[in-house]
Structure formats: structure tokens, C-alpha cells
A and B are shown apart, each in its own frame.
Chain A
Amino acid sequence: MAAAAVMVSSASGLLAMLQEPAAELKLHALANLNSLVHVFWPEISTSVPAIESLYEDEEFDQRQLAALVVSKVFYYLGELNDSLSYALGAGPLFDVSDDSDYAHTLLAKALDEYASIRSRSLKATGEEEMMDPRLEAIVERMLDKCILDGKYQQAMGMSVECMRLDKLEQAISRCDNLNGALSYCINLSHQYVSHREYRCEILRCLVKIYQTLPNPDFLSICQCLMFLGEPETVGNILGKLLSGSKDDALLAFQIAFDLVENENQAFLLSVRNRLDTLSLQASAQALPSDQTDNAATESSGDAQMADNVVTPNGSVHTVDSNEVAHADRLTKIKGILSGETSIQLTLQFLYSHNRSDLLILKTIKQALEMRNSVCHSATICSNAIMHAGTTVDTFLRENLEWLSRATNWAKFSATSGLGVIHRGHLTQGRALMAPYLPQSGAASGGSPYSEGGALYALGLIHANHGEGIKQFLRESLHNTSSEVVQHGACLGLGLAALGTADEEIFEDIKNILYTDSAVAGEAAGIGMGLLMVGTASEKAGEMLAYAHDTQHEKIIRGLSLGIALTVYGREEEADTLIEQMTRDQDPILRYGGMYTLALAYRGTANNKAIHQLLHFAVSDVSDDVRRTAVLALGFVLYNEPEQTPRIVSLLSESYNPHVRYGAALAVGISCAGTGLSDAISLLEPLTSDVVDFVRQGALIAMAMVMIQTNESYDSRVGTFRRRLEKIILDKHEDTMSKMGAILASGILDAGGRNVTIRLKSRSKHDKLTAVVGLAVFTQFWYWYPLTYFISLAFSPTAFIGLNSDLKVPKFEFLSNTKPSLFDYPKPTAQQTTTASVKLPTAILSTYAKAKSRAKKDAESKALEKAEAPQSEDASTATSMQVDGGAEKKAPEPEPTFQILTNPARVVPAQEKFIKFLEGGRYEPVKLAPSGFVLLRDLKPTETEELVLTDAPATQAATAAAAGLQGSGASAMAVDEDPQPPQPFEYTS
């Protein structure tokens, strides 16, 4: 017989058969063609019209087969659109489960098509676009198949993309791991859904599913609700949890902390109000003794009240204790929601863990020329940033005379720097600043510059938590006619009342604006923006109109930034305003337009916005606009930091220095705190650019990227630190880049090396304060005092575990990696002394570490007898080394894990290594590697050992403020030195 592989060499026979009059023959030919199309599609393609006519022939009973053949031919020809339309014609013959390239490609195409039609019809709500029911059928078939096959994630992804919430619901409810599926969906909606309204719809749908669960994940629900802006529902949930068991209360606290982290002041306020009304209703109902008529209570809360009543289970004597506990919890949660608790704890943490290196500042101070005021105030600023939130002002106190060289606006900056250092010191803030504040009634003794600075400082201290200070700031604003003081007061008010949209304050600031004074007007513009952050109110139009009227560039600039702030996060809603501003004739308003784009689309990586910004970056005539456009990319892209270096890499090689500067800062903003290698590689050449201000920008950006990374994590950090030092010490370096280097040193070690720049909260929401802070910070190009706004972007990298009393108990957990990887950078050694001591010997790194530690210990020994035995060990080790003169001993291998003690510093990169130990006394309510975590006490009967009992704040004292009594070194006890090398046997 013949060889096995006999094949036809041509399809012409079959094609000819198609022309036969008999239908059976046509059918036979078609069926054969269908199976051979992958081989003979070039031949068949010439006969496609014939097959098409078969498909269109109503009489022919196998039209669908014809369509399938045509579809395949078109697929091979690369005509996917035609292919898809015929595949739709093929109806059931098109097999979605087919595992061929053809089927895969067409399915993907069908999905794309469907998704794009759906999203178009969503946008143009007026006219419903025609949806091909066959297309819909195919997509539905595919979704159903995915759900049946258990590919839930795939199904969820597809249904989100196709805007089929019904299918999404179905997929989720079928899934075995419900909570996993829901959190997957939440992620999905944040990462891939660019349309804001639609995202809300998804979240609403998710919340609905969550609520049907027997054990709902309240943490996630509340996050969703926050995004949706439904404070009432959150309030109800919290109220319910509070009146539940102790664990429920813990959960409520945890939720509250998570909500606070997202820094949405207005939202938190509404939640608090809701809780208040709830508790009123509850107390009115829960008292069985006097059954007062509850006609007054709102009907809206009825359903909720019913739930509340059930819990105190009726018996009279328990009611009271329950009442007390409930009231206690209520005050606590209100404390948390007001942000005071977390600010307080953060302050304690930053103070107790402060590791800032005064020697760096000292070096800077000494290296600088006396008369260079730019560098002088940069140094003061750097100090403020370095100690942001730590309340440590030793450097200032030690250098009072040097400090007094700051005059005029430098004095303003210096004073406001105190606000950064004492950031979050809500209780003492006003007392601390008292000596500088304008004295009401009495003739002002101090200079207006320090008075203005002090008001600004108050704003920084109370940023986003200004309930207590608003009134004072307003009075100060009323009582002054000095534009410098007005300037400070406007900024301060804006900061303190961030995003509250308070009408009265707005009117006050507007009056300042209408005085048309350049200095005060600029601050007023920014202040109005801060006040109205994210409200998208029509006030923006008013501001824009005034910006057109006024002659002062400063005011226009302030206003345009203010306008940008009002549409923070409003995405599509801001499009009209963006259009208006970017088309303006005035470059300053276009510049504001760039900020508007940046803030409206912050962290969305929206393609349209990126496209627009890139367009302006290369086409605008004004350098300022181009610079800002590039810089704005950083804001738009901060949710995908890996993308930014790639997108701006070309721009960073632009001939235009402004564009290069923008590119540097864009990378700095979006990759802040990530230590991303690509970002560092991009910035490195820019730090030695030919233009001074580009170097400045690159140095600052580099510091922002590298914040909290140490040399053993990326060796370039060490190189960068040495480079900063070199620039500062170099007599011939330009002032601009010197200033950049000084600021960079500050940012690199910001907040006592315990904070990072974080624009997204742990739950992937954007942190309003941080983003706004960075946006205003970038204005330092025009106005140095605005540099301090960067402090708003700092967030402490700490794990703070709390018990049900919101106290910090003793709790240990594991960091499953080498300690050195995320350790604090080594303190700089005093060069003059070290150089003379240890020149000749080659030094191993561990030895050097031990030695420097020993040296530090030795210094402290002069003051107090060494009580720590480790330091003894270390110093003996050192002396043995020196005596032996040889380094034969192998260095002790570094341990691969580290036990951290609550509260502990956990840098972002370290988070993935954090493990909680089993079998301890406490168990975290939420397995979060950092931030505030409530701990469930498994042995409630035993007494708890607490750390951080007292507010360290009381120990702090300002340079000029009345000495505050210092007491209690208990907080310091937590702060232990890193473990010294283990004892070893020395054998020769």
C-alpha cells in the first residue's frame, strides 16, 4: 500500500467542488476545507468570495460552517476584524474551549472588542451603542466556561474588563476562597480600572457581596466604603463592632487606624459624627428603667439601633458595666479617628528611635561660607527635615548664634522649621511656638518674619489635624496687616484646615487675596487650594478669574497651584478645568494646568494624562511649563514606580536643562522611598550634569529615592553619601547644587532615619496629605520656605502593636533576613580623630562596625559608667584585635534573622520578611507587617508589660521656650544597640 502520509497537494479540487450544483458536494467540500484550512489557506483565500456567498445564501443549510471556514482564512491572513465577524456568524460552531491559536486569538479579540464597546457605551450614556448579541453570547460563553473550570481569577478579570458586574458577582460567589477573591477584585479595581465611576460601581458591588457573608471582612469593607465616600455605613459598622465582644472592639480600632492612615480628614470627621449620633440613640434606647419616648431619634438609624439593643442582653446589672465599657471604647475610637492617637504614638516612636547624625550637620555647617545665606537657610531646612517629627532640636540649641544670622525671609524659614521638627506635637505645639507668635493686644515685639514663620510652623505641626488651632490662626490673620505675617497665616490655615472646605476660613483668606499684595496673595492662593483640596468646587472658577485680573506673577502662581489642588483626585471631572488652564495664554496658568493634570490624575497612570503631559513636555514654549509637565509625570505614575524611569529616560537626556530637571524630580517623586535600581541608574548621570540646577534636582530626587536604604542594600547609597559630602565641602561648587546637596542630606536621613516618603497607604489608597505636600514642595523652585511641605509626605516606618487599651505592650516578632540589610546607616565618624588612630591595619567590615560602636560607647562612658555588658565585650574585642595585630579570626557569620521588639522600625523593603511568631502572648488582629496593628491578648489575666508608657514629648525643650521638665528615660530603654558579635574562642 501507499506511504502513510499521503496528502493532497492542492485544495483546488475541493474549491472546484464548491461550485458544483449539488448541495451535498458543497457540504463535503466545506467540511474538508475546514479541516485543511491551516495548510491551504493561501489557496482558499482566492476563493473566499465564493465561500462568503455560500454563507450569505439563505437556502444553504450549513451557512455557519462556511462562516467558520472564512473566519479561519481571514485569521491566517491577519484580518482579525473580518475573522471575528465571521466567527460570530459561525455561531455555536466556533468552539470557545478549542485549544488552538485560532481560537485563542479570536477569543482575545472578541473580549477586547466587547470591552471597548462596553466602555464606550458607558462614556456616551446618551446613545446606547449597538451591541452585537452574538458577541455578547460568545463572551458570556467564555466567562461561564472559566467559572465552570474554576479559573475564577481569570473570570473576574475578564468580567471587570468587560464591565459585567453580574458575571463578576457570579464568579466571586462560586469561588471557594471568597475573601481571597474579594481582595483580588479590590486590587484589580484599583490597578486596572481607570474610570473612576466604574471603579466605584465595582466597589459597591463588592461591598454588597461582602455584606452577605457570614463573617465579613470588615477591614476590607471599610476600605471600600472609604473610597466610595460613605461615612455613614462605616460609622454603622464601627458602632456595631464597638458594642460587640472585646475582639470586635479590637477590630474596630484596627479599622479606625487603617482609615486614619488614608488621611481623609473630612471623611473621618463624618464617621465620628455618625458614631456620636449612634451612641446617643443607643443610650436613649438601652436604658430600660426610663423608657423615654424615642420620637426624636432619626428614623434612618432604626435598623442599626435594633442591632445595638440586642447586645446588652437585657439584664439590668450588666447594663451599667457594658455602658461604661462601651463609652470607654467610644472615646478611644474617637481618639483614633481624630488622628490624635496615631500622631501621639508616632511622635513617641520617632522620638525614642531617633538616630539622626548630628555630625553630618556639623560638617555641613563648618564647610559653608559665612555669608552664603542660601546655603545657610538650606542647612537650617536640612536640620528640620532630618529631625522632622522627632522633637529633637539639639542642633539649633547648640548653634544659637549661628542661627541668628538668618534675617528677613531666612528668619521666616528658620522659625517655620521648628514646626517641622515638632510636627504632630498637637498638645504642646502652641506653647512651643509661643515666643515667636504675634502677641495679641500688645505692640508686636518680634519681627514680622518670625511671627509669620511661627504661624506657618503651627500649620505644619497641625497639618491635617487643625481642629484646635484653626481659631487661633484665624484671629492672627485678622489682627495683622503685615503681609509677611499674612503669608505665614495663610499657609498655616491652609495646612491646618486641609481639605475641610470651611467656608469662613475661605472667606478670610479670600479677603487677603483681594488686597492684591504679591507676598500675601501667593500664600493666599496656595492656602485656598489647601483648604479646598479635592472638593472640585466652583470656587476654582473664582480663583481662575482673579488670576486673570491680577498683575502679580506671584499671585497668579499661587492661585494656579491652588486651583490644581481643588481638583485633587477628581480624574475625569477635572477635564474641563484642565482644558481651560492648559489652553491659557499665560504660561503661569499653563504651568498650573500641569499641576492640575498631575493632581487630578495622581497615581492613576492614566494613559490620556501621560500622553497630554508628554505632549506639553516637548511642545510648550515656556521652560517652566515644560519642566512642570515632566515633573507632573511623577505624580501621575507614582502607583507604578517601575514605569517612570522608562518613560522619562528619553527626556532625561533632553538638551533642555529644565526638562532634565523635571525628569529627575519625576523619578524622585514617583520612586520615592523605593530604592529602585533603575531610578538610581537614571539619576546618577544627572547628579553630575553641566547645569547647576539640574544637579540640584537630581541630588534631591536621588535622596528621595534612596531614603531609608543603606549601603548593604545598594552600594550606590554609600557612593551617593560620599558624593554629597564632597559637593558640600567643595569650595568651587555652585551654590545651587550645594543647596541641593544640603537638602538631599536632610531628606536622606529624614525624621531621625525612621520615616520614608510614601504616597500610597498600605491599603493602596493614595495619601492625600503626602501627595499634596510633595506637590507644594516642588514649588521650592520659586519660594524656599515651601520646602518644608515635604514633611507632609513623611510617614514613619514602624510596626506599632497596641493592646485593647491602645497601649504598647511588649511583643516580639521576626524579621527573617540579615539585620544589616535594613539597618540604620553607620554613624559618620569624626574624621580628624579616626584618621590618626587607625591608619595602618586593613580592617574587616565587622571589625570596623564593632570598633565604631566601641568608640561611641567609650565616649558615653565618660559620662556614665557602662552598664551594658555588650559594650564591655566589644571593647575587649577591640583591644585584643589591636594587640594581636592580626586578623586571623574569621568574622562571625551574620545571623539570617533578627528579633524585633514592639515598637520597631520596619522599612518598606523589609516588610516582606516580617513574620509573626506563633505561641506568643499576643496575636495580631491583622497580619500587617507595619503600621498600627492591634494585638489580641491571649492571656488577658496576666499583667501586661508595657513599653513607651509616657509621652516623651514632655522631655523636649525648644531653644528659647521655657524649659520643660525632662523626666523618664524609660522610653529610651527600648532603643537598644544592635547585637554585638557573639563571644568567640581565640585560638592561634
Chain B
Amino acid sequence: MDPKLVEVTQLFSRFKAAFARNDFDTSVGLLSQLKVLLTKFPSLPPSFQQTPNAVEELKIARDIYEHAVVLSVKIEDQDAFERDFCQLKPYYMDTCDIIPQSPEEYPILGLNLLRLLVQNRIAEFHTELELLPVNALENACIKHAVELEQSFMEGAYNRVLSARQAVPHETYVYFMDLLAKTVRDELAGCSEKGYDYMSITEAKQMLMFSSDQELREYITEEHPEWEIKDGCVFFQKAKETQPCKEIPSLQVINQTLSYARELERIV
């Protein structure tokens, strides 16, 4: 067997061990070593050279990145999640002909969808969805995310919040927690548009805060333009809608006249 592959395999088993005992610091260190080692394999994307060990290499690389994604969820690092997922994606998209599908594929894709939902990147969410084959939509993990998105769009926020109880995979919990905040932001945005002001109690209930203190903190942090007085929250109307842009009539007239003049000169 290729010594490089052996080295990676050994390192990977150490990583998995550390990962299993939730020793995240060690895992992260090992992971970055693994990634560097992976760049030495020419069979991996984007070059896809057909080396004799290509299948093994691809498989182990995919495995490593899948673990990396899960690890990033565990350490609650969204940037790392996105990075690792992007690097993992070619293994799902472009290697179907070389290696068999991974059992982790749909859970991770679903996880990614959920992340996009959490980050409120709806456009990208749908882009990703479009890229999936039709039968993938049947998968519980994907379905979960799709349903969440639908509820989210409908404004059925209670359904979104209650869905936390029915996660298809234990890694989803982290994102479901985050989703609550996204929902809150949405609610805040809607309230701002819908009302001129709202009493503190109502606002507290609406934005799902248990205490006034939390509400105040939220407002100073996220919406400094709101104002609290007389027991009410005043939503500063978003700046007066700008008057529709002035038609540059003078300029247009001048231009037309000069065209006419030029035409007259030449013809």
C-alpha cells in the first residue's frame, strides 16, 4: 500500500479516536494535518488523476471531510462548517462514478440546508435544493429542512420552533437552537414594519424573551434605532421612503438638442 495512504489512515484513526472522546482541540490539530496531507494526493479534486489507489484515497478523503463537517458543528464554528462543506461537496457531486455514495451524504446535505436557513440565505438554500436529485427530497434529513423552510416562509414560526423536538440527526440540534434566533430576527423585522409601537409585555411575548432585561439587551444590540419609553417600544420608522428619483429632464433635453445640431451640421 502507498505509504502516504498508510500515513493518512493512521492519522485518521487517531483523529477518530480523539473525536470519539470529544477531545476537540486534538481533533482540530489532527484535522489540519490531515488536510495538508490530502493535498499530496493527485487523485483528489480538482485534478482527479487516475492513480491505482484513487478509490481508496477518494473514500478516505471524503470520510475525513465528513468528519470535519461534523466536528465543525460540534465546536459550533459556522465558518469552518462552510469551508469544510465546500471542500466536501466535489466528492458528492463529481465522484459518483468512482466511489459509492456515502451513507452520511444526505444528513450532511440536510445540515447544510439547515445552516443556510439559519443564516437566512434563502436564495442559496433554494439553489442547493435545485441541485439535489428528486429522490433525495424523500430523505428524512432533506425533508426536514425543506419543511422547516416552508414553515419559515409561511410565517408559521411556532411550527419551526416545535420542530426542534423531531430532529432526524443529533447534529441538527445545534442549528435548531440557532434557528430560534433567526426566527426572532424575522419577527422583529415584521413588527417593525407592522407597528408603530408595541408595549413591552407584548414585545416580550412576541420576541420570546422571558424577561424585560433580555429584551432590552436584544434591542440595544440588534436594533439600536428602537426606543423604549412609557412602557412601550417605539419602532423608528425606517427612514422616510426616498422620493422617486428625479427625471434628468434638463440633461436629456440638452443632449437631444445637441444631437439635432450635430445632425444638421453633417447631413
- Which residues of chain A have a CB within 8 Å of any CB of chain B? 1-4, 6-17, 19-22, 24-25, 28, 32, 36, 618-619, 650-651, 653-655
Contacts and interface: CB of A to CB of B under 8 A. Distances in A.
B98 A36 contact: no
Contacts of B46: 7-8, 11, 13-14, 32, 36
A13 B86 contact: yes
A6 B48 contact: yes
A11 B87 CA distance: 9
B238 interface: no
A6 B99 CA distance: 13
Contacts of A11: 46
A16 B82 contact: yes
Given A8-B46, A17-B87, A25 B36 contact: yes
Contact of A650 (B83, B84, B88, B266): B266
B89 A13 contact: yes
Given A2-B97, A32-B46, 15 more contacts: A2-B48, A4-B50, A6-B95, A8-B45, A8-B46, A8-B90, A9-B90, A9-B93, A10-B93, A13-B45, A13-B86, A16-B84, A17-B83, A17-B87, A36-B46
B54 A1 contact: yes
Interface string B25-51: 000000010011001000001111010
Contact of B32 (A7, A12, A15, A21): A21
B47 A16 contact: no
Nearest to B65: A13
A6 B36 CA distance: 23
B239 interface: no
Contacts of B87: 13, 16-17
A6 B94 contact: yes
24 contacts: A2-B54, A2-B97, A2-B98, A4-B50, A6-B48, A6-B98, A8-B45, A8-B48, A9-B93, A12-B86, A13-B87, A13-B88, A13-B89, A16-B85, A17-B83, A19-B83, A20-B32, A21-B32, A22-B36, A24-B39, A28-B39, A618-B262, A650-B266, A654-B266
Contacts of A619: 265
Interface in B252-267: 262, 265-267
B267 A655 contact: yes
10 closest A-B pairs by CB: A16-B86, A28-B39, A618-B265, A8-B46, A2-B98, A6-B48, A2-B97, A16-B83, A13-B87, A12-B86
Contacts of B39: 24-25, 28
Given A13-B87, A19-B83, A3 B265 contact: no
Most buried by A among B87, B98, B262: B87
Nearest to B262: A618
B47 A12 contact: no
B130 interface: no
Contacts of A28: 39
B36 to A, nearest CB: 5
Contact of A25 (B35, B54, B98): B35
Nearest to B85: A16
Contacts of B86: 12-13, 15-16
Contacts of A7: 46, 48, 94
Contacts of B32: 20-22
A682 to B, nearest CB: 17
A611 B30 CA distance: 70
B79 interface: yes
A16 B86 CA distance: 6
A12 B82 CA distance: 10
A849 B262 CA distance: 55
A13 to B, nearest CB: 5
A6 B84 CA distance: 21
A561 B244 CA distance: 60
Interface of B: 32, 35-36, 39, 45-48, 50, 54, 79, 82-90, 93-95, 97-98, 262, 265-267
B90 A10 contact: yes
B97 A3 contact: yes
A619 B266 CA distance: 9
B97 A13 contact: no
B69 to A, nearest CB: 12
A13 B90 contact: yes
Most buried by B among A8, A13, A651: A13
B116 to A, nearest CB: 14
Contacts of B265: 618-619
A2 B50 contact: yes
A8 B94 contact: yes
Nearest to B47: A32
A6 B97 contact: yes
A3 B95 CA distance: 10
Contacts of A1: 50, 54, 98
Nearest to B83: A16
A52 to B, nearest CB: 19
B49 to A, nearest CB: 9
Contacts of A24: 36, 39
Contact of A20 (B83, B97, B266, B267): B83
Contacts of A651: 266
Contacts of B47: 32
B226 to A, nearest CB: 33
B240 to A, nearest CB: 33
Nearest to B264: A655
A22 B32 CA distance: 7
A628 to B, nearest CB: 16
A935 B32 CA distance: 87
B78 to A, nearest CB: 12
Contacts of B54: 1-2
A8 B45 CA distance: 6
Nearest to A3: B97
A570 B89 CA distance: 70
A531 B46 CA distance: 79
Nearest to B89: A13
A9 B89 CA distance: 10
A196 B118 CA distance: 70
B70 to A, nearest CB: 16
A650 B48 CA distance: 60
Contacts of B85: 16
A868 to B, nearest CB: 60
Nearest to A615: B265
Contacts of A21: 32
Contacts of A3: 97
Most buried by A among B32, B46, B84, B90: B46
Contact of B35 (A2, A20, A36, A650): A20
A618 B266 contact: yes
Contacts of A2: 48, 50, 54, 95, 97-98
B203 to A, nearest CB: 38
Contacts of B98: 1-2, 6
Most buried by A among B35, B83, B267: B83
B35 A12 contact: no
Nearest to A651: B266
A6 B97 CA distance: 9
A60 to B, nearest CB: 16
B179 to A, nearest CB: 23
A21 B93 CA distance: 25
Contacts of A32: 46-47
Nearest to A12: B86
Contacts of B267: 653-655
Nearest to B82: A16
A422 to B, nearest CB: 47
A9 B85 CA distance: 15
Contacts of B50: 1-2, 4
Nearest to A6: B48
Contacts of B82: 16
A53 to B, nearest CB: 16
A10 B88 CA distance: 12
A654 B84 CA distance: 70
A14 B87 CA distance: 7
Contacts of A4: 50
B53 to A, nearest CB: 12
